[in-house]
Amino acid sequence: LFQEKDENKKQREILEDRLKETNKALAEAEGERDKLKKELDLAIRNKQSLLTWKVAKSQLMAELESRVKKYEKWSHVDVDKLMIELEKKDNELKHLQSLDPSEMQRHRSML
């Protein structure tokens, strides 16, 4: 009986030790779970932020590409030459506007 009591005590101590180890492992697992949940939440927020950024930048990129195409369309044009020609036409227009009506009629007939 005494030996049986001693065995029961040892077995109880072993079971209590196992329980402590199990509780410790459970607490560690719960801590790890909470840490991973926080990391997941952060990753989800970062993903949403990146998607928002991507949409905004995609719109800006489309606008910039459109502007680049517009400039490429006119890149072969000599702007200085156009400006000189415009000035000549402007001067010619001023000259024609300063003519009296009879001279203007003569000029039109030449065209």
Tell me, rounded to whole angstroms, the distance of Cα 66 from its chain centroid: 18
- The residue assigned the tokens 């989800």 is 44
**pLDDT value at position 46?**
98
**pLDDT value at position 23?**
98
**pLDDT value at position 60?**
95
Distance between CA atoms of 36 and 29, rounded to whole angstroms?
10
Average pLDDT rounded to a whole number, residues 60-83 = 87
Record the pTM.
Answer: 0.48
Give the least confident one: 23-27, 59-63, 66-70, 86-90. 66-70
